[in-house]
Structure 1
Amino acid sequence: MDITDLKYDLNNSYFYANGDKIKILAHNNELLNEHIIKTKIIFNRLVDITLLKDFYDYFYHQKYLDISYVNFKKYLYKMIDFHDIAKISFNFQVDRLKNDEVVKVLKKYGLDKFIGLIEPKHSFISSLLYMSYLLNQKIDPEKNKLLVLLSYVIYGHHTSLKDILFESKFMYNIDKYSDTFDLFSVYINENAANSRDYQDLQDSFYTFLDEIDGDSKIAFFYSYIYSILVSSDVIGSSYSNKTVEYVKEYSKNWNNRIKDELANIMGQEFYELSYNKECKEISNEELFSKDEINSLKDINILRTKMLKEASFNLKKSLKADPNKKIFYLNMPTGGGKTNTSMKLALDILKNTDADRLIYAMPFINIIEQNYYVIKDNFGLSEDKGEIRKIYSASESIFSDISDDDKSEIILKDSFFDYPVLCTTFVTLFNSIIKNKKKYKYTLSSLANSVIILDEIQSLPLKNWTSLYYLINEISKNYNIYFIIMSATLPNFDELKLNKEVPFDYETVHLINEPQKYFSHYLFDRTELKNEITELNSENEDFSFYFKDIIEENFDIGYTKGLIVLNTIKMSKLVYDELYELKDSYGFEMDLLNSSIIPSEKRKIIHKIKNMDSNNARYILVSTQSVEAGVDVSFDFVIRDFATLDSIEQIRGRCNRSRELNKRFDDENKKGNVYITNIKRNDRLDHRYIYDKEEIDTKIKETELLLDNNVNYNYQNILDYYGLISNNINKIQDDKELNFVFKDRDNMISWNKLKFSELLDKNYGIHIIQKKNNQCSFFIATGLNILIDDKEFQNKSIEYLSIDKTEKVYERNKNNFIFTLNELKYLKDHESRYNVKLIKNNIVDGTKLIECYSKCIAKLKKDIGAKKIIQKEFSSILYKFIFQVTINNPEDFVESQGLDKKGFFFVIPKDKIGNGEKCIYSIEKGFNFDFKKNENDMVEII
């Protein structure tokens, strides 16, 4: 018998050799045909047919396709049939799946010698076999060359979305694997075409792609189908130990969207709130003129008027032109942005076919602050899977459910499979920009969504052009409605596609003449004092400036001060200088920068919020960590020079709720804001954190604006953003003239399917700009369970039963640093591993990391269980972890002898404290000797 004499049955995944048969597996204990059926079931559940038809209609109209829609779908579903077909490789079955049946039967017929000769890499061969199938169909390949994309989807479905123009050897490798390819063609009854036919088709497709510059549709189609296939494949594989019938039934648990019943609950709960009762239906008569707005004296009424105007304009736009899907919401700090955005989301859900809501925010603290507002005000339940916050340190502790259910929740997190979710800019945009398989899981889930982008100006300026392009294009291609909101909203509309052509996207501004709100006296809460003060940190009188400002404000009853610096080094320097004065001036003080662990940050914020505003004197020295999403207010603020948007963010932390006006019973009282320009080592300190493009645009325009008018107005802010857009255009134009790579080239790379170019370290798109090497450190210290333990001095959580712990927690929820689920989890691990994690209301970091390490080591071979443990521990570990950027981190870690546990290094107890040899202080953060290298650390924003 020859190896070609074996017969393969595609329908039951068995090879037949005379009277013997060999089962072909996709995974352990799962036949290949079963996996393909399951993948199809999930694919059907996830794919959006309307979106698919839109893609087809466009491609057919553009003459990229010349087949019927029925055949288009047929070839698409055939892609699923072929995606793992090369797992019939005997080499793969033996090497990867330990399928001993293969060796046993083949040996019987003297065919086992062929096992090692057959190619085990199934994705590549599967893609070639699919291409063979297409060439055997009665279609004109030249007129349907777009179908070649589906072969590349198969090729990359275990690795990444392939750069087609960089895969020039793809079809040319067919000769290299011809023996395996020809053999498999016999097994699946596909007549292999001449290798030249494959190569000609690829070359023709390359020429076609190379001629396309401005059409994003192909890239979005390719990305969408890839996302759907890899998602279906992974989800289907998670049910490898289940029957096909089980998967048919449980597939209903996937693609969770906002159905009518949930939408009704969300609306009902939202409009039941006292301040939203009159906001359900809005008429033109309810909109106020500028004079009427100016006459309002109640800030809540003013907020309601802004909400009503935004909602009215949104619904008007949806009715007049449904194709306009990008909406700008420009509202003052304290104007009720979050509540207004929730109303706008309800309007879109009601008046369109969008059925998912995604809140994306730049910083974790904004997510934490807004998540519970969104959840509670919409009446959503996390336990029912209606809402979820998804970022690396979000809590994922699962009680009273099986490991299978835990795995499914983790899987759903990976696929954004919730009706409503909150996530970070990084997580959201990575799904679009990055080409690795794991990032693409969420991409298809974005379709038919309302996406709210908060604090949009936080996106990296060097990529504003390409990101604005992608936001608009994904909106058109995936039917996504964007609400882009901020108190400082960039002028993206002025950006240009290339030197000659401006963007012509149609966007909708939901507030007409925002100046009528921004200039309202209720939002006119601060005043910039004096001119910008130049300081040198090396001068002896450096600290006198801060001392004088503090004394001046204390004398007039302004008792809470905030000092915001640009770098960790400067924040520590100023903190140390002022620390010497705190006793004589009678004030408390704290340091808050990115090297302070999250649990300490929370304690500091809690202290500020609960401080007696009439008597307590307090100074917070901080970095940009306090800018956005930290809901605190100060009487006076000193800000080292920064971009205007950063200065505006800090002004929003001064007299935030007009508490000075209430305290002094004076409508004219304003918070005091001071701007400095600190120099160290003959270099302005802000230049350590801004790149050249930011200095040439934002910093330059901020300097000009403040030189002209230190107490600028809203129109000045509009002009500022207009000038920034012009500056970006000029920078891009100059690069275009000189043939230098520019951000606009990222748009061309996207359209030409050169996705890896978007990842280029210097020129690609990066939501977080990593200047050096970022390291994570775990502080093996004891953390208080409670923010304020005065009420708990005579009792410890460690001795309370679970029931009593629950009761205590519910009564004092806001006083706990650890959540109830986290405390239950720690108590459970104490009993399970016979370890003392909690003592005297303190969680022992050293014991915790030991316990975590034991759990991981125990489950080393069980990848699924290991993922569950890592996910469950993540929110607890996060409270002990900080991140900084350090040059030469390997040298530092080696010199300090730090152990690595997963993604972080552990700083042990003996290296924690305020001594010179300690490398970390709970109060002051990272203690590394900066003087060894001035650039050893910069602030992570």
Structure 2
Amino acid sequence: MYVAHIREKDRKIQELKDHLCEVQHLAEQYGEKIGLKHVAGLAGLLHDLGKYSDEFQDYIHKAVFHPDLENKKRGQVDHSSAGGRLLFQKLHQTMNTPYEKLLSEIVANAIISHHSNLQDYVSPDVESPFLKRVEEKELIEYEQAVERFFQDTINQSAFDKYITTAVMELEQKTDYSPTQSFFLTKFIFSCLIDADRTNTRQFEDGKAEGRSDHSILFDKYYDQLITKLDYFRTKPEANYPINQLRTEMSEQCELFANKPSGIYSLSIPTGGGKTLASLRYALKHAKQFNKQRIIYVVPFTTIIEQNAKEIRTILEEDEHILEHHSNVVEDDPTERDSGDEQEDGMITKKQKLKLARDNWDSPIIFTTMVQFLNVFYAKGNRNTRRFHNVSHSIVIFDEVQKVPTKCVSLFNEALNFLKADANCSILLCTATQPTLENVKHSLLKNRDGEIVENLPEVAKAFKRVEVIDRTEQPMTNDMLVEWMEENAGLWGSTLVILNTKRVVKELYEKLKGGSLPVFHLSTSMCAAHRKEKLEEIRKMLNDNTPFICVTTQLIEAGVDVSFKCVVRSLAGLDSIAQAAGRCNRHGENEVKNVYVIDHSEENLSELKEIEVGKGISSNILARFNKKPDKYEGNLLLPKAMHEYFSQFYRKMDTSLSYFVSEVEKDMTRLLMSLAQENSYVSYYQKKIGTRFPLLLNGSYLTAAKHFQVIDQNTTSVLVPYKEGSGIIANLNSAELIDDLSKELKKAQQYSVNLYPNELEQLKKENAIVMHLDGMMYELKEGWYSEEYGVDRNGEGEMSHLFY
């Protein structure tokens, strides 16, 4: 009997043949969703072939049953290269067809990488790490492992037939483009990673799980939503013109859901009922086309809780709605990625924490743009694991204009793959639609893909505010304070949005001693803290009490608050429009004012996107002041917004494809270039003196190492705000993986993301406690304040807003 795993609690053995076949079966289920059942299954069948060696069997028995004996160190026994080598040797010879060779390159890379990240086919140092693993690396007991595999798991004839079917699947699927090849490789890798982790978790917990089928839930949710909407129509206010318009747009979403999968836009104006209208589209479309999940992607963590709460209330559902913010459990960057699976025979607490990470198998998911992009491009198997579950989904992007500029090309390519190859429907929701279809790596939106009919007329009907240009004379914080003291009492509730956290905090300090109550919101506060602050603010708004709220742009995208006046520091026109959406949001008053100012004390040198947007908006404001008719008398209508984004993407053209300075190449080139366009291939051929032997040439590992959505990697730190302290204790005591999963989801509400310099400074000041072998950080009592969140005595303000 050959061993794959040994369970900690009772030392029960999982036989290797069982593990391989069970992972194969799970991978087949995942791959079948896009027509690659046997391609994915092949990766599952071969991934741990190297465990058939005497070396590994000796190692695992010693580690578990004789820990006192001298043994190999964890990770020393390579069991992941053998399966990749077998496939490459079999399918990558001169007589093999291009489809066989492509199959071997895609699947072998997934196999050899399942304890790390996908390997480079060719790297910046003009080597092929992939070829080194499948051809050159010394595997002393390779033949022994292969022989035992065919004796114990599958016979040679059945294996050959299986490969033939996999080749046929790939032949029907592939278009041979480098872009598609990257995503197909990533998809097969995702199927393998999730199948392997899921089977390991099932063995550890001693229970298998059935295949998820959310169609019954979607039927139930749809009926509940329609019942709620029918109830709303019985209320007297349903006859108000604005509510009738909301109803019309909701019904347009219902009808549009009958169209086939594609990339569509939903440009409902602020206050038009976008959340419920998009849900109505999604549930109807899911029923109509058998979609497996609905994924909401929002720009900021600040609005996940609000949107999820609204949908939970409507659907009367909690268990099946997942909020996925950040990764509370950190990987040790100095440690080889163990693939979240045991290698020393016993599954440790650290490995259980990794296994507990969610794989996005919930029917309704709320996540951030950072987490969404990480699924496709970031390093770490915890990200890749979720990829296959995005297929057959409806993906709704709330405030899609907030796609980070450097990621625009990567975002567009990912969505194009989801539409063309992964059976997804994509909804781009915002009142300020960006022109993503007009850039180099263009988004392949469907023609006539706008759901809202007569959009300009609808936007005019929803006019709530007047934009007042006050940029002629730049303002300091002192001037702002004087202006607020003179007018805010008359204006009523006033929201001030500035571009950097430093000036926000300084303004808050200066306003605190004034005649009106002052609130401060910051991304240095954990989600639970911000939520409580927003509840206080909403109470003040409902009571019609004059007060001032000072914050950054975190409040702009989707936060459901309605002030009587908004003051916005000059930025991109989309940001001004989103700020305007927090003023007179529900039309409860006559038209109110949104003042645009030029704040002279903001340092935007590190915020290029805001700086460029500010310049374009300034020019559009000047033209509007001279010829308002050119923009139909309203800066917030689609015409002005289209002009703004067209100019913005032109100015930022060289920044749209994620330039990696360390290797002087765009990320799109590293992942998706043709061989003749790849300088690494040319150098390799000159160095070796022969033609590059592979069909694929992407530098997948290099790209993953350099990819991060925000400019600096951040670390999630649990903070001692109310329930936050208790969560750490629960995580330390929990043993079952399901219990760990629940606590990790709670922990997202009580964590704050910190830049490296901030984390290091707090460590030096002895403010950080590390748990679980350094995988989790906790902020000590006294370092978190009610006013500012993570409090470093006014130092180290983060200027970037987290996505």
- Scaled to the shorter chain, the TM-score interval is 0.7 to 0.9
2:607 maps to what in 1?
690
2:500 maps to what in 1?
567
SS in 2 for 1:130: helix
2:255 maps to what in 1?
312
Deviations 1:431-483 (A, max 9, x none): 11124322121111111111111111111012212211221122211111101
Q: Does 1:547 align with 2:482?
A: yes
Instruction: Note the 1:138-177 alignment, pairs <5 A.
Output: 140=96, 144-148=100-104, 149-166=106-123, 168-172=128-132, 174=135, 176-177=137-138
Q: TM-score, normalised to structure 1's length?
A: 0.67
Whole-angstrom distance in 1 between the partners of 2:527 and 2:552: 14
Whole-angstrom distance in 2 between the partners of 1:182 and 1:893: 50
Work out which of the residue numbers 899, 913, 929 in structure 1 matches 2:769: 899
Q: Is the 8 A contact 2:658 2:667 kept in 1?
A: no
Residue 545 (structure 1) shift: 3.7
1:666 maps to what in 2?
none
Whole-angstrom distance in 2 between the partners of 1:474 and 1:119: 38
Work out which of the residue numbers 313, 319, 327 in structure 1 matches 2:264: 327
Q: Is the 8 A contact 2:268 2:274 kept in 1?
A: yes
Residue 780 (structure 1) shift: 4.1
Structure 1 residues 712 and 189: alpha-carbon distance in aligned structure 2, compared to 1, 3 A threshold = closer
Residue 887 (structure 1) shift: 3.8
Q: Is the 8 A contact 2:393 2:423 kept in 1?
A: yes
SS in 2 for 1:620: strand
Q: Is the 8 A contact 1:635 1:654 kept in 2?
A: yes
1:179 maps to what in 2?
140
Q: Is the 8 A contact 1:36 1:80 kept in 2?
A: yes
Q: Is the 8 A contact 1:773 1:886 kept in 2?
A: yes
SS in 2 for 1:759: helix
Whole-angstrom distance in 1 between the partners of 2:757 and 2:63: 49
Q: Is the 8 A contact 2:667 2:703 kept in 1?
A: no
Report the residue type matching 1:495 in the other structure. Answer: V
Whole-angstrom distance in 1 between the partners of 2:89 and 2:79: 15
Deviations 1:605-661 (A, max 9, x none): 22222226576221111122322232111111112222222211111111112222x
Whole-angstrom distance in 2 between the partners of 1:414 and 1:937: 28
Report the residue type matching 2:277 in the other structure. Answer: T
Whole-angstrom distance in 1 between the partners of 2:509 and 2:90: 72
Whole-angstrom distance in 1 between the partners of 2:293 and 2:644: 35
Whole-angstrom distance in 1 between the partners of 2:352 and 2:322: 14
Structure 1 residues 371 and 408: alpha-carbon distance in aligned structure 2, compared to 1, 3 A threshold = farther
Instruction: Note the 1:2-151 alignment, pairs <5 A.
Output: 14=1, 23-28=2-7, 29-48=13-32, 51-52=35-36, 73=38, 77-98=41-62, 120-134=77-91, 140=96, 144-148=100-104, 149-151=106-108
2:591 maps to what in 1?
670
Structure 1 residues 921 and 712: alpha-carbon distance in aligned structure 2, compared to 1, 3 A threshold = same
Residue 337 (structure 1) shift: 0.6
Work out which of the residue numbers 461, 465, 468 in structure 2 matches 1:526: 465
Whole-angstrom distance in 2 between the partners of 1:25 and 1:749: 39
Q: Does 1:712 align with 2:635?
A: yes
1:336 maps to what in 2?
273
Structure 1 residues 480 and 488: alpha-carbon distance in aligned structure 2, compared to 1, 3 A threshold = same
Structure 1 residues 529 and 699: alpha-carbon distance in aligned structure 2, compared to 1, 3 A threshold = closer
Whole-angstrom distance in 2 between the partners of 1:559 and 1:165: 62
Whole-angstrom distance in 2 between the partners of 1:892 and 1:78: 48
Deviations 1:88-121 (A, max 9, x none): 2222222234378999xxxxxxxx99999x9821
1:812 maps to what in 2?
none
Structure 1 residues 656 and 354: alpha-carbon distance in aligned structure 2, compared to 1, 3 A threshold = same
2:456 maps to what in 1?
515
Report the residue type matching 2:764 in the other structure. Answer: E
SS in 1 for 2:184: helix
Structure 1 residues 410 and 303: alpha-carbon distance in aligned structure 2, compared to 1, 3 A threshold = farther
RMSD, matched Cα: 4.1
Q: Is the 8 A contact 1:623 1:939 kept in 2?
A: no
1:235 maps to what in 2?
198
Instruction: Note the 1:718-867 alignment, pairs <5 A.
Output: 718-729=642-653, 741-742=665-666, 744-745=668-669, 748=672, 752-759=697-704, 761=706, 764=707, 766-767=708-709, 769-770=710-711, 772=712, 774=714, 778-780=718-720, 783=722, 848=725, 852=728, 865=736
Whole-angstrom distance in 1 between the partners of 2:513 and 2:376: 50
Unaligned runs of 5+ in 1: 1-13, 15-22, 54-72, 104-111, 191-211, 280-295, 395-402, 661-668, 784-842, 913-919
Whole-angstrom distance in 1 between the partners of 2:669 and 2:112: 26
SS in 1 for 2:57: helix
> How high is the sequence identity, in percent, across the aligned residues?
21
Instruction: Note the 1:551-700 alignment, pairs <5 A.
Output: 551-555=486-490, 558-582=491-515, 587-611=516-540, 616-660=545-589, 669-680=590-601, 684-685=602-603, 687-688=604-605, 690-691=607-608, 695-696=611-612, 698-700=613-615
Report the residue type matching 2:249 in the other structure. Answer: M
Whole-angstrom distance in 2 between the partners of 1:562 and 1:773: 31
Deviations 1:850-873 (A, max 9, x none): x835x66667xxxx54x6665444
78-87 or 641-650: bigger deviation: 78-87
SS in 2 for 1:41: helix
38-47 or 146-155: bigger deviation: 38-47
Structure 1 residues 349 and 535: alpha-carbon distance in aligned structure 2, compared to 1, 3 A threshold = same
1:916 maps to what in 2?
none
Report the residue type matching 2:199 in the other structure. Answer: G
Whole-angstrom distance in 1 between the partners of 2:747 and 2:635: 44
Whole-angstrom distance in 2 between the partners of 1:651 and 1:449: 32
Whole-angstrom distance in 2 between the partners of 1:40 and 1:741: 37
SS in 2 for 1:675: strand
Whole-angstrom distance in 1 between the partners of 2:437 and 2:767: 52
SS in 2 for 1:122: coil
1:375 maps to what in 2?
312
Q: TM-score, normalised to structure 2's length?
A: 0.78
Q: Is the 8 A contact 1:559 1:616 kept in 2?
A: yes
Q: Does 1:268 align with 2:268?
A: no
Residue 332 (structure 1) shift: 0.5
Higher relative contact order (CA 8 A, sep 6+): 2
Q: Is the 8 A contact 1:157 1:229 kept in 2?
A: yes
1:834 maps to what in 2?
none
Structure 1 residues 879 and 366: alpha-carbon distance in aligned structure 2, compared to 1, 3 A threshold = closer
Structure 1 residues 535 and 579: alpha-carbon distance in aligned structure 2, compared to 1, 3 A threshold = farther
1:17 maps to what in 2?
none
Q: Does 1:419 align with 2:363?
A: yes
1:940 maps to what in 2?
801
Q: Does 1:219 align with 2:169?
A: no
Q: Is the 8 A contact 2:502 2:797 kept in 1?
A: no
Deviations 1:130-187 (A, max 9, x none): 3345479x97355621121222221112222222234725445645525322443555
Whole-angstrom distance in 1 between the partners of 2:752 and 2:379: 28
SS in 2 for 1:140: coil
Q: Does 1:921 align with 2:785?
A: yes
Whole-angstrom distance in 2 between the partners of 1:151 and 1:183: 19
Whole-angstrom distance in 2 between the partners of 1:269 and 1:484: 24
Q: Which has the larger radius of gyration?
A: 1
Residue 594 (structure 1) shift: 1.9
Unaligned runs of 5+ in 2: 8-12, 152-174, 329-346, 626-633, 675-695
Residue 493 (structure 1) shift: 1.1
Whole-angstrom distance in 2 between the partners of 1:730 and 1:368: 35
Whole-angstrom distance in 2 between the partners of 1:181 and 1:264: 52
Whole-angstrom distance in 1 between the partners of 2:657 and 2:17: 55
1:207 maps to what in 2?
none
Residue 928 (structure 1) shift: 3.4
Structure 1 residues 628 and 477: alpha-carbon distance in aligned structure 2, compared to 1, 3 A threshold = same
Q: Is the 8 A contact 1:590 1:621 kept in 2?
A: yes
Work out which of the residue numbers 291, 300, 309 in structure 1 matches 2:243: 300
Deviations 1:681-722 (A, max 9, x none): xxx43x15622x5534x2332121122226624121222122
